Structure 1
Amino acid sequence: METAQLRIVFVFTDLILPLLIGYYIHQKKWLSGEVCNWLIKFNIIIVCTVLTILSFWVLPLTLELIWLPVFGIIFCIIPGLISAFTALRRYQNPLDRGSYLVSSMLSNLGTLGGLCAFILYGEIGFAYAQMVGIFQNMVLVLFCFPLAQYYYQQYTATTTKRTLHLDFRNMFLSWNQLPVLGMFLGMFLYWADIPRPAILSTVFSSLIHIGAWTALLPVGYLINLHAAQKYYHKIFDLVPIKFILTPLVVYIMITHLFTDQIILGTMMVLAITPTAINAVITARLFKLNVDLTIAAFILTTVIYLLIVFPLLFFYITSGNTL
């Protein structure tokens, strides 16, 4: 695993730089939206699946790990409950309220959280992050989508409109679920005591950087600063919810469940992750306020990359325990 001095460089080269270049490419119109969609699919179907297989292949299976997928749901529930009170008070328009709630609930656990966990703890941290993210799609489909649909129907204020149909079969049984199969395959290889070839460690280290760029460059491409700027002050209260209240509650919980410092550190990395791009996708799908979700994504991501994660990085790499 790389030294701490080298890994901190990844914060810029693998997190900030692809976002900036993706945004610049969009401004110059060098790539089409179809190409960016292809990059997103390539990242999920190919890169994430291979990375998941390789990381779980060397992951020791313990009873503690049973709790990790549960926290993927808890990470949504805590900010969701807190922001529900704020949404009722601040947002009268159902479209704004729905966008605000999904922005608070959905966090970038898999892509950004996984990469940051790798920067701190290598392959094991990445594997832990993927385990936590197992139930994220379930929360998205079974709760966030119906919630968004409810607020859209509340906005239309009529029951005569055509009801939006959710194809749950295609949502759960799609190529996007391949990383979950990769996780089980990696677990089987570890359980079967099949040694992983040493060369695959090099492959993993190279692929993690490719995965960062294929995931975050399209995100930068989707950013519309002009449309989102009028919402920054309205959603600023997501900052203490995401970066103070949620990690505080999570910290109290995990210190009573885990003793392993890598698990504790990874969980804290994930507890403070910013709003996920899935919030934007949900808003677009159900005709909520897309610009509000984009503002939430940009604001929380910038604060996370420039302030929150660097502080956590230096705290942990300085030898402090959680």
Structure 2
Amino acid sequence: MDDSQLRVVLLLVDLIGPITLGYILKVKNLVRPAFTDFMIKFNVRGLFTVLAFVSFWKLKFTSEVALIPVLGLLILFLPYFIGMAITRRVADPLERGALVVSSMLGNTSTLGGLICFLILGATSYAYVQVIGVLQSLVLILFCFPICQKFRDMAQTNRGLTHKRSLKDLLFTWNQVSILGMLAGAALSLKGVPQPAFFDPIFAALVHVSAWIQLLPVGLMLNITAARRAMNKNVFMILPVKFIVLPAIIWGLSRLLFSDHTITSTLVIQAACPVAINTVFCCAIYGLKTDIAMAAFALSTLVFMVTLCPLFFILL
């Protein structure tokens, strides 16, 4: 088995394995919700911080790297405006909200990060972390209010709403990986060399993180509900995710970057399928989670069958 084939096998194992295991555990009722919550927090607060520290330490900062957040914000907000436009005729605010958030949030950190690491290496994974931080902030500061907006539109009688302070929004334990990024960036800027033994440890942690992140997806997976919710509105998301957004980001990246790794990373990030965080958002605010689950399942399947092999061949 050559290196390319091994990378494909690792990707399939890291994607299908944890989701399948999580679904089996769900069917057998062997995992409590508290354990699922613990895994999510351990991954976001623990492993993400370590991975961010090591990857940013390896990162070489240039003027082009400083432009990555600009394209990262476009990856997040362009599909929002497109999603608002293509769903304007959806009458149910709860369904429209789920579709808009599904258009906006991509599986950039877990699936996108894994693919970028396997194809392009640790430097690409560091670029992914930059976009991941932006998505986390946009999730809290923009997506949550948008979900609340669609929820309010669907309510005839509004009750009291809980308003978070700016401190509660900006300073949470789920953002602790930013500290890892800052620490790694400081060592990189000071020219401190990274020990060689970090490479195999980093590679192992990427795979462990993918399993811990995707196992809860299997625990939440409801195939029957997702199949029932599959309609033409869900299918409208596919060209936005897989054609329009990657094409725009590719064109802009070609103009702004000479670094092939940056351009390739941004295109992969732009083409990522719907994030599982979409389901979490919809569940919190009472939007149609079945629509979000259908969008997640359909886009992930299409991505794995079409775009993922294409990226391995071209990049």
Q: TM-score, normalised by structure 1?
A: 0.93
Partner of 2:40: 40
C-alpha displacement at 1:168, in angstroms?
4.1
Partner of 1:4: 4
Whether the 8 Å CA contact 1:121–1:262 is kept in 2: the answer is: yes
Partner of 1:288: 287
For 1:174-185, list aligned pairs within 5 A: 174-185=172-183
Q: Quick one: percent identity of the two aligned structures?
A: 36
Quote the Cα distance in structure 1 between the aligned partners of 2:310 and 2:216: 27
With 305-314 and 210-219 compared, the bigger mean Cα shift is at: 305-314
- Runs of 5+ consecutive residues of structure 2 not aligned to the other structure: none
Q: Is 1:279 paired with 2:278? A: yes
Whether the 8 Å CA contact 1:15–1:305 is kept in 2: the answer is: no
- Runs of 5+ consecutive residues of structure 1 not aligned to the other structure: 317-322
For 1:265-276, list aligned pairs within 5 A: 265-276=264-275
Q: Is 1:206 paired with 2:204? A: yes
Q: Which amino acid in the other structure matches residue 100 of structure 2? A: L
With 65-74 and 254-263 compared, the bigger mean Cα shift is at: 65-74
Quote the Cα distance in structure 2 between the aligned partners of 1:205 and 1:123: 8
Cα deviation digits, residues 63-83 of structure 1 (max 9, x gap): 101111222221122211222
Stretches of 4+ moved more than 3 A in 1? Answer: none
Q: Which amino acid in the other structure matches residue 6 of structure 1? A: L
Whether the 8 Å CA contact 1:52–1:130 is kept in 2: the answer is: yes
Partner of 2:155: 156
Cα deviation digits, residues 221-244 of structure 1 (max 9, x gap): 111111111222230111111101
RMSD: 1.5
Q: Which amino acid in the other structure matches residue 210 of structure 1? A: V
Whether the 8 Å CA contact 1:72–1:134 is kept in 2: the answer is: no
1:195 to 187, 193, 196: 193
Quote the Cα distance in structure 2 between the aligned partners of 1:54 and 1:138: 21
Question: Compared with structure 1, are the counterparts of its residues 168 and 107 closer, same or farther at alpha carbon in structure 2 (3 Å cutoff)?
Answer: farther
Quote the Cα distance in structure 1 between the aligned partners of 2:229 and 2:86: 15
Whether the 8 Å CA contact 2:141–2:169 is kept in 1: the answer is: no
Partner of 1:29: 29
Cα deviation digits, residues 13-68 of structure 1 (max 9, x gap): 11222112111211111211211111111111111111111111111100101111
Partner of 1:171: 169
Whether the 8 Å CA contact 1:70–1:132 is kept in 2: the answer is: no
For 1:104-119, list aligned pairs within 5 A: 104-119=103-118
Quote the Cα distance in structure 2 between the aligned partners of 1:177 and 1:88: 33
Quote the Cα distance in structure 2 between the aligned partners of 1:101 and 1:68: 24
Partner of 2:134: 135
For 1:30-69, list aligned pairs within 5 A: 30-69=30-69
- Provide the secondary structure at the position in 1 that maps to 2:255: coil
Q: Alignment length, in residue pairs?
A: 313
Quote the Cα distance in structure 1 between the aligned partners of 2:201 and 2:94: 45
Question: Compared with structure 1, are the counterparts of its residues 283 and 168 closer, same or farther at alpha carbon in structure 2 (3 Å cutoff)?
Answer: farther
Quote the Cα distance in structure 2 between the aligned partners of 1:38 and 1:302: 27
For 1:222-237, list aligned pairs within 5 A: 222-234=220-232, 235-237=234-236
C-alpha displacement at 1:97, in angstroms?
0.8
C-alpha displacement at 1:169, in angstroms?
2.4
Q: TM-score, normalised by structure 2?
A: 0.95
